[in-house]
Structure 1
Amino acid sequence: MTQAPAKTSYDVVIVGGAMYGSSVAWFLTDNPDFNGSILVVERDPTYEFTSTAHTNSCMRQQFSAAINVKVSQFAADFVKNFRTYMGGDPRVPQVTLHSFGYMYLADNETFAATLRESQKVQAACGAGTKHMTRDEIARDYPFYHLDDIIAANHNLVDEGYFDGNTLFDWWKRSAKERGVEYVANEVIAMNRNAAGTRVENVILKSGQVINCGTVVNASGPRAVLTSRMAGIEIPVEPRKRYTFIFEAEKPLDRDLPLTIDPSGVHMRTDGTYYLAGCPPDEDPAVDYDDFVQDHSIWEDKVWPILAMRIPQFEAIKLRNSWAGHYAYNTFDQNAILGPHTQVENFIFVNGFSGHGFQQSPAMGRGTAELITYGEYRALDLSPFNYERIETGEKFVEKAVI
């Protein structure tokens, strides 16, 4: 059942109403210098198959690029002070950031050197990352099997996981209360002006033609389907990622950091259970509606690695599992933000490649600034701008999971 918008013209039309559509919408309403009208068009208001619904809500400052560290630092502050950022509304819950950190394990000197260099970048940004020897890892976390490990990076400050869907729910609720209009509908086409420099209107599945001042592509893994309506190609495709929730017969005596094993398998504490995940060995683009699980990944790859890395995990029981989609930027696995170089009112918030939830506060704020002022103000997010796709200058980030 589609819904028709109340009006035929809006200052901002956001295509996609999940985490990023709602983040941009809310931050626009929170900007005192923005007083325009906002329409959010969401094709599936249940959000059942969105990346938002399948998130693991992890947060880390362990990146090799300083701007990625700063983006996550704002996210940590936003989560820890969520009610304050939401205007002190007593209905808004306090959100806990479970800071047991990430543990990047290195089994060779080349990766250990990369970790040491990244630690310097993170420290310069004020992050609490420390580089650890094998003996130091064993001292603090004696449950690991470390015969093949020579070093690690670990950070116990503002790094771990949080309930990201609480942020999403309240951004959406608050945006609606502040006048943002959400409709269950689908953008199926866009019309540009004669010069091709602006999107003049969008056409909805229900037939309405909606004039727009700015279009924001917040379509997650479907981003290229939206951009093509404006004649634009972007290197974003859906890639399948697997999550497994398991119970240990002999639970660990302390929190398990989000551990990135050299095999690519990652694992962490998840309440009274544990969470693990990994990319498939073969990682092609998948159909937008393909969420079928490959159960051999658990049996043949994940479980053996868990039992090898943490011997206490030899006796575990799988309790739940699911497959979700990364909005995967095949160019350089980092966000694509900002305006198109020719279609000047078409704004990207796409291609987060698994970093989306932890980056959503900073990227939503920055995109709202860009729409309001024509520039980023709180953080210079221009390294993520779309322009680099055309020039072929990759944003280099070594810490991509």
Structure 2
Amino acid sequence: MSMSSLQTPKQSLYDVVIVGGAMYGSSVAWFLTDNPDFDGSILVVERDPSYEFASTSHTNSCMRQQFSNEVNIRVSQFAAEFVKNFRQFMGGDERVPKLMLHSFGYMYLADNEEFAKTLQASQAVQQRMGAGTRYMTPEQILQDYPFYNLDDIIGGNHNLIDEGYFDGNTLFDWWKRSARERGAEYLSNEVVSMSRNASGTKVESVTLKSGETIACGTVVNASGPRAILTSRMLGIEIPVEPRKRYTFIFDAEQPLDRDLPLTIDPSGVHMRTDGKYYMAGCPPDEDPAVDYEDFAQDQSLWEEKVWPTIANRIPQFEAIKLVNSWAGHYAYNTLDQNAILGPHTEVSNFFFVNGFSGHGFQQSPAMGRGTAEFITYGEYRTIDLSSFSYERVVEGRMFEEKAVI
């Protein structure tokens, strides 16, 4: 970002400064403006207002109920409610489009007894929480989806209720637009340093790349894969790093006669219907942290792993053609691949919304609302999100979630 393109803030003091204006910065900003008990000033600082390289721009916008932990299921259930009633949640604004949740579901496939038992245990939790997940035998799967090759599969979980694809970027666009209309200030700039008070218990100010120093009541780290760069301004380490994830859009010579659920193959490759095309993705076999600017694609992954897996799992996909592909970054929590949320244990006005490890879009309604509640009331009021707290990072205590893709 050149110095000439930097914008200057309108004030020298803000109640809440949000570092990062993509999905999470905008979610927190919007839910604060929507909370009748919050009447403070909000500054959202975004280093790349084009969002070209933000995780938000590379999302596959999927949603699932199929988690093994109750709070993750509850978080997704609110997301489904929010998407399906988007206009009402946005105050009945007639300009706001109605969003569709395309519920073709996730299909987790197990090729060994251990994973099959994990799926069955998760299905029991999901059923108790009201999700529509079924554990299915290969024969049952083939009745509904006869195109699969299941020679090596012993079972699978599938759910057709509130699980599938939604237009996450429309959600993001309207949160950002609405938050601005309600008074949140968005700034094309970059936070380069922060200062604490004498006792070290609070952030006192942030300094911008353009030179201004701004006093603040609360700071929210919504910096996506760059979260650790923001926390290190206060000498705080968090286990979040950028990991590369690949997405491939392909066309099939013989399209399927029904929607393809988001199928998680035992190989780690996943695939689903994507309009008139299909989408597939996977992590690389070697999965190190990457440079923040590294979005180079590895085409050998398609040739050597993804295409052969797709053709094996769905023989009708023998003849497919790659139409588009890209690489994006997960904000990957190396501790347990789950969010870090809420205030720091010592710097009480420094908040995390970090480390979502690929399920950030579907969790953004509940996590944004919860963060706004905690900033306003000092506690969570709707869903208790305290199990995502930074405290577990300090203690090295993992939040256990078996259904991580």
Cα displacement (A) at 1:291: 0.1
SS of the residue corresponding to residue 202 of structure 1 reads: strand
What is the match of residue 238 of structure 1? 242
Task: Tell me the C-alpha RMSD between the 2 structures.
Answer: 0.3
What is the match of residue 315 of structure 2? 311
Choose from 144, 165, 171 the match for 2:169.
165
Choose from 15, 19, 22 the match for 1:15.
19
Count the aligned residue pairs.
401
Distance 1:77 1:205 in 2: 39
Cα displacement (A) at 1:230: 1.2
SS of the residue corresponding to residue 347 of structure 1 reads: strand
Choose from 361, 370, 377 the match for 1:357.
361
Choose from 170, 174, 181 the match for 2:178.
174
Choose from 385, 398, 404 the match for 1:400.
404
Choose from 113, 117, 141 the match for 1:137.
141
Q: Deviations over 1:99-147 (max 9, x none)?
A: 0000000001100000000000001110000000010011110000000
2:273 matched to 1:269? yes
Distance 1:356 1:113 in 2: 27
What is the match of residue 205 of structure 2? 201
SS of the residue corresponding to residue 229 of structure 1 reads: helix
Distance 1:311 1:104 in 2: 18
TM-score, with structure 2 as normaliser? 0.99
Q: Deviations over 1:337-393 (max 9, x none)?
A: 010001110000000000000000000000000000000010000000111000111
**Letter aligned with residue 12 of structure 2:** T
Q: Deviations over 1:14-71 (max 9, x none)?
A: 0000000000000000000000000000000000000000000000010000000000
**Letter aligned with residue 207 of structure 1:** G
2:105 matched to 1:90? no
What is the match of residue 281 of structure 1? 285
Cα displacement (A) at 1:231: 1.3
What is the match of residue 84 of structure 2? 80
Distance 1:125 1:335 in 2: 21
TM-score, with structure 1 as normaliser? 1.00
Cα displacement (A) at 1:94: 0.3
Q: Deviations over 1:265-295 (max 9, x none)?
A: 0000000000000000000000000000000
Gaps of 5+ in 2: none
Distance 2:134 2:384 in 1: 26
What is the match of residue 225 of structure 2? 221
Choose from 143, 147, 152 the match for 1:148.
152
Cα displacement (A) at 1:172: 0.2
Gaps of 5+ in 1: none
What is the match of residue 31 of structure 2? 27
Identity in percent:
79
Distance 1:289 1:58 in 2: 25
Distance 2:30 2:340 in 1: 20
Distance 1:214 1:388 in 2: 21
After the TM superposition, which parts of structure 1 deviate over 6 Å for at least 4 consecutive aligned residues? none
**Letter aligned with residue 135 of structure 2:** H
Distance 1:320 1:349 in 2: 31
Distance 1:4 1:235 in 2: 32
Distance 1:61 1:286 in 2: 30
